[in-house]
Amino acid sequence: MGVSIYNPTSSTLIVLLNLALLVYRLIILFFLRSLFCGAEKIKLKSTKFMAKNWEELITATPIKFNSNYITLNKDSSIIFN
């Protein structure tokens, strides 16, 4: 039998690098999404385009959708009434 040359540190390093890259991509996507949404709101206001006000689903206020209500619970679950 031959000697095993498996080096666990190299595979662990690859996993950590992939995880770091994923987190980096998620941060960039979140930043670009918030930047785009802010720019879109500014453009709608400056052009005086008639659009519905944006509603954000939070635990304090439900959103009316197709004559039903969507509510967000404190445990992040969503209920359609």
pTM greater than 0.85:
no
Query: What does the pLDDT look like over 26-54, one tens digit per residue?
Result: 888 888 887 787 777 777 777 776 666 77
Look at the chain and report how many structural domains it folds into: 2
Judge if 42 and 59 occupy the same domain.
no
Judge if 40 and 55 occupy the same domain.
no
Total count of residues recorded for the chain: 81
Judge if 28 and 66 occupy the same domain.
no
Judge if 57 and 71 occupy the same domain.
yes
Judge if 21 and 31 occupy the same domain.
yes
Judge if 29 and 4 occupy the same domain.
yes
Looking at residue 25, its pLDDT comes to 92
- Distance CA(13)–CA(7), nearest Å, equals 11
Range of the domain at 11: 1-49
Query: What does the pLDDT look like over 59-69, one tens digit per residue?
Result: 888 888 888 88
- Distance CA(60)–CA(58), nearest Å, equals 6
Contact in structure between 68 and 80 (CB atoms under 8 Å) = yes
Judge if 33 and 13 occupy the same domain.
yes
Looking at residue 11, its pLDDT comes to 75
